[in-house]
């Protein structure tokens, strides 16, 4: 049993941290919140050059061939930096979907494009009435010759406005099916959704959008079940981001309370504040290990569903607690938009609700107990 990172992982961590602190400082993050694209394309290209955009894709698909655990190490640094951009949706969500469900030609065609930064792909699966409940999915795909026509409304599709392809779920005669939709296809209408985390979410309305049959991902009618595994992995990836963010919040808080004086002494010398910080560290360490255990199991090809749900349930709550205490210890100044804290607390809330919140994942854990 070994809880330490490998030498390469330590190097990846350090180089990622250095790169991101210089290329994606918090000033850029705040700037990108109101930027139409939401991220600087040149930064995205640099990440491609570093091999990040295809980090865990096999080399034969143009990737770096690293493990899911390595990806988690990188994501921790990305979370720490609050990196804006479609990395998570394109590399992690879409990339893993295509890797798992795509045909050989789909993989050969698309994964290298994602890895090179040439192509951005996002997921458009959530609907107003179908978040956790796939039974309520309304988007339909009817057949027309060798094509499908997709009609329906999706919400919370990240970075849809820069995506070259949208992976969307729609009901065919046999069930829920995953489709790869070229975003240039007529009939797609995007409306930006203004979110607290400024994470470029979109409503996507599909109006008889023509998609060739060959663009089905995986098996027809089995889309939901197939996607479930990917979503669980993505949930673990999201946990890694959250752990990185939480770690930064703690460091920011500890630095602040050492300096900030009230009643003639640093506020960090008050036991209440000290105990808040101790609780934050405990929350972070427990989150980190639960996340890494799940990530390790994924890397080793072991059953991971229970670990993934435990991690997402715990880390969702823990990150929220950490940011709340961060605000509490830093005080009023942390509520100002210019301060770094809101970047984290807003992302904590968004991350909590993405890919299944605590209640949802606890229910999965309960099912795992055969309750």
Q: Among residues 277, 322, 348, 351, which is the contact residue for another protein, using CB under 8 A? A: 277
Min separation Cβ 246 and another protein, Å: 14
d(CA 271, CA 314): 26
CA atoms within 13 A on the CB side of 337: 8
Q: For another protein, how many residues bind (rule: CB under 8 A)? A: 47
Binding residues for another protein restricted to 298-327, rule: CB under 8 A: 300, 310, 313-314
β-strand 121-124 against 201-212: which pairing, if any? unpaired
**Phi, psi torsion values for 140, nearest 5 degrees:** -115, 150
- Any contact of residue 178 with another protein (CB under 8 A)? no
Instruction: In angstroms, give the least distance from the CB of 273 to another protein.
Output: 8
Alpha-carbon distance of 147 to 247, in angstroms, equals 48
- What mask, x for binding another protein by CB under 8 A, covers residues 42 to 81? ---------------------------x------------
Helix or strand run (H / E) with residue 324: helix 305-330
Asked whether 196 and 349 are in contact (CB, 8 A), the reply is: yes
Classify residue 39 as exposed, middle or buried by CB count within 10 Å of its CB (0-12, 13-18, 19+): buried
Q: Per rule CB under 8 A, is residue 2 in the interface with another protein?
A: yes
Alpha carbons 70 and 73: distance in angstroms, whole number: 5
Structure tokens belonging to residue 14 = 């350090």
Q: Does 271 help bind another protein (rule: CB under 8 A)? A: yes
Site for another protein in 335-364 (CB under 8 A): 359, 362-363
Residue 34 vs 271, nearer CB to another protein? 271
10 binds another protein (CB under 8 A): no
Name the residues that contact another protein, by CB under 8 A. 1-6, 9, 69, 250, 254, 257-258, 265-266, 268-275, 277-279, 281-282, 285-286, 289-290, 292-293, 296-297, 300, 310, 313-314, 359, 362-363, 365-366, 369-371
């Amino acid at each position: 049993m070994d809880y330490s990172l490998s030498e390469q992982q330590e190097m990846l961590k350090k180089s990622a941290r250095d790169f991101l602190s210089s290329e994606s400082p918090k000033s850029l993050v705040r700037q990108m919140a109101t930027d139409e694209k939401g991220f600087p394309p040149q930064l995205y290209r640099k990440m491609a050059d570093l091999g990040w955009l295809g980090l865990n894709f096999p080399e034969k698909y143009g990737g770096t061939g690293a493990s899911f655990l390595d990806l988690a190490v990188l994501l921790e640094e990305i979370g720490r930096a609050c990196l804006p951009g479609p990395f998570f949706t394109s590399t992690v969500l879409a990339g893993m979907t295509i890797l798992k469900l795509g045909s050989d030609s789909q993989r050969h065609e698309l994964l290298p494009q994602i890895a090179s930064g040439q192509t951005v792909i996002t997921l458009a699966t959530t609907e107003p009435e179908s978040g956790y409940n796939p039974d309520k999915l309304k988007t339909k795909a009817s057949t027309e010759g060798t094509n499908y026509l997709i009609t329906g409304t999706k919400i919370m599709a990240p970075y849809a406005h820069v995506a070259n392809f949208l992976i969307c779920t729609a009901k065919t005669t046999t069930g829920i099916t995953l489709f790869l939709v070229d975003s240039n296809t007529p009939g797609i209408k995007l409306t930006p959704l203004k979110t607290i985390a400024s994470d470029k979410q979109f409503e996507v309305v599909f109006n008889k959008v023509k998609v060739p049959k060959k663009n089905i991902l995986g098996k027809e009618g089995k889309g939901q079940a197939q996607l479930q595994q990917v979503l669980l992995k993505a949930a673990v990836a999201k946990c890694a981001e959250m752990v990185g963010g939480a770690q930064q919040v703690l460091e920011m808080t500890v630095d602040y309370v050492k300096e900030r004086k009230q009643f003639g002494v640093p506020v960090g010398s008050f036991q209440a504040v000290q105990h808040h910080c101790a609780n934050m560290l405990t929350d972070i360490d427990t989150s980190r290990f639960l996340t890494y255990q799940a990530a390790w199991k994924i890397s080793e090809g072991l059953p991971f569903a229970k670990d993934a749900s435990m991690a997402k349930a715990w880390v969702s709550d823990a990150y929220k607690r950490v940011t709340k205490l961060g605000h509490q210890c830093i005080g009023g100044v942390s509520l100002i938009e210019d301060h770094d804290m809101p970047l984290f607390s807003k992302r904590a809330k968004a991350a909590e609700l993405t890919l299944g919140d605590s209640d949802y994942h606890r229910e999965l854990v309960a099912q795992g107990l055969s309750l």
